[in-house]
Structure 1
Amino acid sequence: MSVLFRAATAILITLVNAAPLQAESLEVRVGYVQWHPDQGPVLSNVLPEPEDAGLKGAELAIQDNNASGKFLGQTYTLQSTRANSEEEAITAFETMLGKGIELFVINAPAQTLETITSRAKETTLFFNAGARDDKLRTDECNLNLLHTMPSYAMLTDALAQWLNQRRWDEVFLIGGPTDADKGWADAFRRSAKRFGLKIVEDKLWTFDADLRRTASKELPLFTQASNYDAVVVADVRGDFGEYVPFNTWLPRPVVGTQGMSPVAWHRVVESWGAAQLQSRFRKLASRDMNSEDYAAWAAIRSIGTAVTGINNPSPAEIRSFLYSDRFQLAAFKGRKLNYRDWNGQLRQPVPLVHPRGLVARAPFEGFLHPNSDMDTLGFDKPESNCRING
């Protein structure tokens, strides 16, 4: 055996021994359940919501998790259901639970979400990517429920901060008749008081007229008042709010659920690397990313970030990591995001947008908080009864 051959063999053995062991394969299974009741015909019918809103965000997050996880031996899979009824959504959840899935993203109304969580195991971890109801963050607290969808209070606080900053202190509020409209309007009334705004008129829209024909006659009369700086609309599903801009008694800006709106996400958000997220989403879904998509994406990316940090798919370990100082979610909003330890809400900036442009991003400079300025949006710890971490 030649000296050269022996030397080459020795080098090969050394390299093999020095090579890192293949990472042990780790499978992370996530369940996604989506259901929203049929709202019936919308009088404006201008901007229909995509039926897969939320689901496509979840699918993109699974792709993102697998892109990084493949280097660590981690594989992420998604089992999803878009249900046609509440009963079907609950059955789908129970089926997934029976298959051993313990990580869930739920895009459903608050009542359905609470029913699903009540039927879970003690170890099951949930992410709320659909319900904005404040009660889930203030009173009806769940130890194993985190919220990636901003609450109504977070959205309306963002709007109220902006109005205060612009010194548009007197507003005309128009609320719709649905429960969602009432939830949004109630949140804004709280925000107005919190940030020093005066609601000079507070009216409920109860008409069922076809505003496509009568808006220029109906709305100027409805919005009559001696003076106001802005009109705030609470029309979540878009029955009448699309026709309020340019049809008010006084020539004033329209904000709220229509006009300039506070949202979790919008296609006009492009800074801080968001343009590449938008591009990847359009390639996947053949449409623009919306708030439901973003909330589902943020939930599954939170799971991926935690599993990367601890190399463990246990719901209890993931939950512990998400509430630790080690967790930071890179979420294309210019800030590293984390969860409030008292109610599980994801802290996040709120974009204020109109259909074709970004106006601003809350929280704004000058609104101070002893811990995080993002806690000026939504119910702060002293304002909430939730203490899910003691």
Structure 2
Amino acid sequence: MRLRFDTRMAAFAVSGLACLAAAQAQTPAPAEVDFAYLALAVQRTIPLSYLDQPPADEGIQGARLGLADDETTGRFIHQTYRLAEAIEPDEVSVLASFRKFAAAGQRLFVTDLPAALLLQIADLPEAKDAILLDATAEDDMLRADGCRPNVLHLLPSRAMLADALMQYLAVKKWRNILLVSGPEAGDKAYADALRHAAAKFQIHIVQDKPWTYDPGARRTDTGHYAIEAEVARFTQGIGYDVLVVADEGDNFGDDLAYRATDPRPVAGTQGLVPSAWARPFEQWGGTQLQSRFLRQAGRWMTDRDYGAWMAVRALGEAAARGAGPDAKQIGTFLRSPDFELAAFKGARLTFRAWDGQLRQPVLLADARSLVSVSPQPGFLHQFSELDTLGTDQPETSCHLN
């Protein structure tokens, strides 16, 4: 009996191993989805203030967290993801890296590039079948005459940011603003967006003044006196509800608060800031994303990090929801009505068909508090209230088709 029992057990074990081997043989190998992160290294300069040193790994840390989130989903659907990174010191190197990726068969790119270089790459013959997810550029031109069918945009445009702020001012009935803009190209572009938004939401610009004062040795013992006197002189005799500033380079905007002749709030690029992401944001599960990023990077998430995170998550979401690893199918699905991205903003985010812009709420926050989220209540739209922010389809100059 003992011999018979052992023989049966052995036979059962052999049969079980055979079934397990057959099941493993029938399990498909994980599908591999490859992305590339392509960036131009930002040339850092000494900031006016040492309070907020710009991080050297801005953008790429968001992409890495997005990859980790993609992999979490991939384990359940037998997909794996790989992110190749190329952060180059100059434009020539960026172009060379793109051509190298393209020659190796890469078609899915997350980009952190200035507008002109992004367009240069999008127009290359090698980019004809590529999908470029612009993670960081806010230029309205890229969503207008400079739009490309192979480019999608993750961060809000300057027009969306300006509309978000002006909606809030309209709700608060703060309808008279003093607009102050700096001399840099980004300052002028943002000021143009603010002017357009002010007209759109019936906000009156009582004066539109360029900032030309150079404080010189602001770190001398009496530097703050000179700045206070200049701001007081600059704002004297002007009646307004809010001082709206366009200073993307942080060259002077922080000096305007508390120094104007009349006590008025500051908004725009400083003060109450419209943005894609904000450090004090905690709603709709935002704390979860904030804490995971803080553990990974050892710092707070910025807009560029958030844009890169959304880009990698969008690619992973498209691959996971049926497109698979095929770049053409992923691009088609991203632009389809079936795509949506959950990005901790309490709304389903989708790409606009007419200019490739990701619809999304815009946060209004200062350094310590989330003040509001636009679109504001009462601003209605026949299709999506999110389309009250930025360029709507009837007014677009982008013609992708």
TM-score range relative to shorter protein: over 0.9
Q: 2:284 touches 2:344 (CA, 8 Å); kept in 1? A: yes
2:268 maps to which residue? Answer: 256
Structure 2 distance, partners of 1:59, 1:39, is 22
2:97 maps to which residue? Answer: 92
1:182 maps to which residue? Answer: 188
> Which has the larger displacement, 255-264 or 115-124?
115-124
Q: How far apart are residue 128 of structure 1 and its match?
A: 0.7
1:109 maps to which residue? Answer: 114
Q: For the structure 1 residues 313 and 15, does the alpha-carbon distance in structure 2 shift closer, same or farther, using more than 3 Å as the test? A: same
Choose from 222, 228, 233 the match for 2:245: 233
Task: Please give the residue correspondences for 1:1-390 in structure 2 after superposition, counting only pairs within 5 Å.
Answer: 21-35=26-40, 38=43, 40-44=45-49, 46-119=51-124, 120-210=126-216, 211=218, 213=223, 214-388=226-400, 390=401
Structure 2 distance, partners of 1:273, 1:187, is 31
Q: How far apart are residue 88 of structure 1 and its match?
A: 2.1
Larger Rg: 2
> Which has the larger displacement, 329-338 or 78-87?
78-87
Structure 2 distance, partners of 1:58, 1:324, is 23
Q: For the structure 1 residues 201 and 316, does the alpha-carbon distance in structure 2 shift closer, same or farther, using more than 3 Å as the test? A: same
Q: How far apart are residue 361 of structure 1 and its match?
A: 0.4
Structure 1 distance, partners of 2:137, 2:13, is 63
Structure 1 distance, partners of 2:50, 2:191, is 22
Render the CA deviation track for 1:94-145: whole Å, top value 9, x for unaligned. 2222222111111111011111212233210001112111011111110110
Q: 1:45 touches 1:238 (CA, 8 Å); kept in 2? A: no
Q: How far apart are residue 235 of structure 1 and its match?
A: 0.4
The amino acid across from 1:100 in the alignment is: G
Q: For the structure 1 residues 311 and 132, does the alpha-carbon distance in structure 2 shift closer, same or farther, using more than 3 Å as the test? A: closer
Render the CA deviation track for 1:188-239: whole Å, top value 9, x for unaligned. 0000000010000111112221455122111111122331000001000100
Structure 2 distance, partners of 1:254, 1:317, is 46
Render the CA deviation track for 1:334-381: whole Å, top value 9, x for unaligned. 111110011110000000010011000000111111000000000001
Q: For the structure 1 residues 365 and 25, does the alpha-carbon distance in structure 2 shift closer, same or farther, using more than 3 Å as the test? A: same
Render the CA deviation track for 1:161-204: whole Å, top value 9, x for unaligned. 00000000000011011111111100000000000100001111
Q: For the structure 1 residues 20 and 294, does the alpha-carbon distance in structure 2 shift closer, same or farther, using more than 3 Å as the test? A: farther
The amino acid across from 2:148 in the alignment is: N
The amino acid across from 2:257 in the alignment is: P
Q: 1:54 touches 1:292 (CA, 8 Å); kept in 2? A: yes
Q: 1:234 touches 1:241 (CA, 8 Å); kept in 2? A: yes
Q: 2:121 touches 2:127 (CA, 8 Å); kept in 1? A: no
> Which has the larger displacement, 355-364 or 214-223?
214-223
Q: 2:231 touches 2:256 (CA, 8 Å); kept in 1? A: yes
> Which has the larger displacement, 87-96 or 167-176?
87-96
Q: For the structure 1 residues 208 and 39, does the alpha-carbon distance in structure 2 shift closer, same or farther, using more than 3 Å as the test? A: farther
The amino acid across from 2:136 in the alignment is: G
Q: 1:127 touches 1:146 (CA, 8 Å); kept in 2? A: yes
The amino acid across from 1:110 in the alignment is: A
Render the CA deviation track for 1:313-354: whole Å, top value 9, x for unaligned. 222101111122221111100111110011110000000010
Structure 1 distance, partners of 2:273, 2:25, is 51
Structure 2 distance, partners of 1:294, 1:176, is 26
> Which has the larger displacement, 157-166 or 24-33?
24-33
Q: How many residues align?
A: 389
Structure 1 distance, partners of 2:272, 2:75, is 41
- What SS does the aligned partner of 1:359 have? strand
Unmatched segments (≥5 aa) in structure 2: none
Q: For the structure 1 residues 220 and 89, does the alpha-carbon distance in structure 2 shift closer, same or farther, using more than 3 Å as the test? A: same
Q: 2:360 touches 2:386 (CA, 8 Å); kept in 1? A: yes
Q: How far apart are residue 45 of structure 1 and its match?
A: 5.2
TM normalised by structure 1 equals 0.93
Q: How far apart are residue 24 of structure 1 and its match?
A: 2.9
Structure 2 distance, partners of 1:45, 1:215, is 18
Structure 2 distance, partners of 1:171, 1:361, is 20
- What SS does the aligned partner of 1:28 have? strand
Structure 2 distance, partners of 1:6, 1:90, is 63
